Every structure is written in C-alpha cells, then in structure tokens.
Amino acid sequence: MRILAKSKLPEVLDLFSGCGGLALGFQQAGYRITHGVELMENANRNANYNLCLKQGRPANHICGDVTQMADDVFLPEVGRHGCVVIGGPPCQAYSLIGRAKINSVRDEGTFLDDHRGFLFEDFLRLALGHHARAVVMENVRQCTAFGHMNVPEVAAERLEQAGYTVFWTILNAADFGVPQIRERMILFAVKGRVTPVLPRPTHSGRRYGGLYAGTGLKAFEACPHYLPARRRMRRDPAWLTVEEAIGDLPSLRTRPDEPYQANNMNLLLPYEYEPENAYQAAMRGGEEYVSGNVYHNNPRDYAIFDRMEEGDTYPRAAGIAREIFAERRRRTGVQEGTPEWEKLWRETVPPYSVDKFLSKWKRIERDKPCYTLTAHLSLDSYSHIHPWEPRGISVREAARIQSFPDDYVFQSNMGDAFKQIGNSVPPLMAEAIATALRKMLGEQEDSAWQNVQI
C-alpha cells in the first residue's frame, strides 16, 4: 500500500482543538496543521504556542465558536491536496460523569437537552463545507448511546451519503504506548472508495489478565459502520505502567508534613534520574529540565494519602482519617463534644459519605497503566493520588500519562492545564490514527482525488 509523502499530505483543519493533543499526533505523523479553532482562549493559546510559535511558524489556531462560523470559513486557503478535518466535539453531554452533573443541577430536563451533544453536527457541517478529503472525529465511548442516538452511526450515514468511505471503532490508548487505559470512539471518513485501515496496536495487555477486557464491544458489531479494533499481538511489548512513565520526574513531596511549595507553572526542575526506558527518553526529547511541577494543595489529607496503599479508594481513606483523628485526640487530650473536638474532626476527617465517594478517591498503582485521566483534575486530584508520594499527581505527571512530551509547555494556571490534559486525545494514539489515515489516503493519487471532490 502506498503511503503519501509529506509533501502530498492534505492540510489539517483542527476543530474543537483543545490544547492540541489530536493535532500534535497528526503533526508527529507528518501532517501540516494549517488551521484550528478552539472556544477556550487559554487552550487556544497553548495550541498555538506548542504547534506553531515554538517552531517558528505563525499562529494558525483562532479562538472562536464553531457554531457561529460559515461552512467554508477557511476556503479558498485550503491547498491543492485538499484537507483533513479532525476534532473532538465536547464530550460532557455523553460522558457518564457529565450526564450526572447536568442532571443534578437542572430542575427540569436532562442531559439530552445539552446542546453540546449536537455539536458534532457543526463539525460535519464544516467538514463538508471544506470538501474535506478525509475526516477524523474523536469522542468518548458513551457517545454511542446519547439517549436513543448513536452519534458515530448518525455521522457515518451523513458522510456516506456525501460520498465517503466511513467506519468507526473503539480504541484503547494503552494499545498505542500510552501509559493509560483510555477508551475512545474514533470515526474515519475518506472521500471516495478506499479500503479501511485500522491503527495497529504497538503494545499488549497480556501481562495484566483481566485488568481490561474491552467489555461490551461485541454489541457494536450490529452497527453497520463499526469495525472492531485490530487485535494486539502477543509478541508486542506490554502496556506501559505508571512507574515506567513518570519514575524519572522530579520528586515534589517526600513527607506528609512538608510545607506546601506553590511552584510556578514555568519553574524548571531537573529530572530525578536518568531515563530508565525508551518512553521516558522519548518524552524528554533531550531536555535537561522540566516544567509543570505543580499539584493541588490538600493540607488536611496529606497524612491520609501517606497511609493509603496503592489501589486504595475512599472507604479506606475514610478509615485512615478516623485512625489519625483518634491518635491526635489522644495526643491532645481534647474532650468529645467540645468546640476543640469538633475543630480537630474538621481538620482531620473528610466530610464525604463512604457510600457516595466509593471510588472518587483512589491511589494509583505504579505497576499498572493508569486509569483514565479526566478534566475533573482541574478541581482536585483525589481521583489520581500519586503512587509513592503523599499528594495528588502534578501537571507534568498528568501530561506524561497522557503522552504529551516534556517540551509541551502549558502557558496557563494549574487548573486550566489539568482540564486541558484531561480533555485531550493522547498524542501517541493520535499519531497511530494519523498513520492509519495516511495509508488510506495513499490509495488515491492526486488525480483520483480530484475526481472524487464534491
């Protein structure tokens, strides 16, 4: 199968770009990102800095609302090799966490009233308006069940009617060298008739047995445009673990009683160790210092984190808190029912129900891939407590777990950086997606492409 040279690759239009994880993967696969749109100003600034300015090219992502843009907003700027439209319309209306939050704050209506659930229509509108040579759309797996609507199937039918070969699949980021179990729906569409190509996994989960089995995927086989992901090969390297991903990064807290250091996001610290594996070396890219060494300040809970075992969740944390309270009460001699007793309780024991917070606190296990990072990290990091230090993970550790290289600089505050990382497509998985698309585009000579334009 012929693979297109870089000089003949279509330009990429990056919609709903976030801080640029999907675009970075396409860039790493040889594509040129020529236009981008993102509503969140800070995320747009990060995309521009890391994808363009840092490489000496002018900024090409604009801060704007896709829903207010003309179908052909970037024409006639798209080059003669056509364009690829990529993007991940917001997932909050689809994700289980997002649905629960929406339902909890509304007096009337449900998550189905959330307009963000229909932003894929604007994504398709701009893709067709630019006569896209190919389309790649990413979203959470739950987008397959938005009420009674299977979003990728609806999108596939519209693109197929417009003359595209279309299919969608469910990919796990861990299969592509990302140290994180993260399932995502990926839709591919290529103008004309081509043979579908699925990304090839580079890593296997065989070492972990039942940790992840791709549950529920068989049900998708009844969908006309669904293709099962390619099988992992037993000879492939094992999924990367958290320790393999972040073990060389700077130590930020060794004891629970250390004073909190409110580091600046741009503070550069030296690495803790020499690279211990190929992943760490690749993430460093020759850098000697690294930024993003910041984490949430949780003064009440450092002592709790310190006693939690890897894999422990909130029920165990609540038990530890009560143990610590009993120890402090004996040491201070405060009497039950007094204001001093109540103050000590507030300063020691989290006020959350064990039933409702069953898994909302969790200490990462170093010898396994991480579980999915989410945008909620912007508010706190109880869901991802560091495996061997008594704290939540740092921005740089989250970026490593998401496969952002260490020279990807987050020019933002800590909360925004966590949110953007949690919302991103892991660049290594994006690169595998872009490579598969490049093979499909290679079937078409430019002359053939001209014949299938709308």
Q: Do 16 and 40 contact (CB within 8 A), yes or no?
A: no
CB atoms within 10 A of CB 170: 19
φ/ψ region of 108 (left if φ > 0, alpha if ψ in -120 to 50, else beta) reads beta
Whole-number Cα distances in Å, 144 to 154, 172, 216, 343, 429? 10, 16, 12, 48, 20
Q: Rounded distance, CA 37 to CA 60, Å?
A: 9
b/e burial code for range 211-231 (CB count within 10 A of at least 16 → b): ebeeeeeeebeeeebbbebee
Q: Is 91 a catalytic site residue?
A: yes
Could you say which DSSP state residue 142 is in?
G
Structure tokens at 274: 């020499």
Closest CA to 150 of 160, 139, 136: 139
The length of the chain in residues reads 454
State the Rg of the chain over Cα. Answer: 23
DSSP 342-397: HHHHHHHS----TTTTTTTSBBPPTTSPBPPP-GGGGT--GGGB-SSSSSBPPHHH
Of 254, 104, 174, the closest CA to residue 432 belongs to: 174
Q: Spot the catalytic one: 19, 91, 143, 370.
A: 91
The residue assigned the tokens 């445009």 is: 225
For 139, phi then psi, to 5°, come to: -165, 175
The span from the CA of 291 to the CA of 268, in Å, is 5
Number of CB atoms found within 10 A of residue 254's CB: 10
Using the structure block, give the residue that is written with the tokens 């490489």.
55
Alpha-carbon separation of residue 245 from 259, 360, 410 (angstroms): 27, 23, 19
Yes or no: say if 182 and 373 are a contact pair by the CB < 8 Å rule. yes
Q: Can you say how many angstroms the Cα of residue 304 is from the centroid of all Cα atoms in its chain?
A: 28
CB 223 within 8 A of CB 150: yes
| CA–CA gap between residue 332 and residue 222 (Å, rounded) | 65
- CB-CB contact of 214 with 175 (8 Å): no
Which residues carry out catalysis?
A: 91
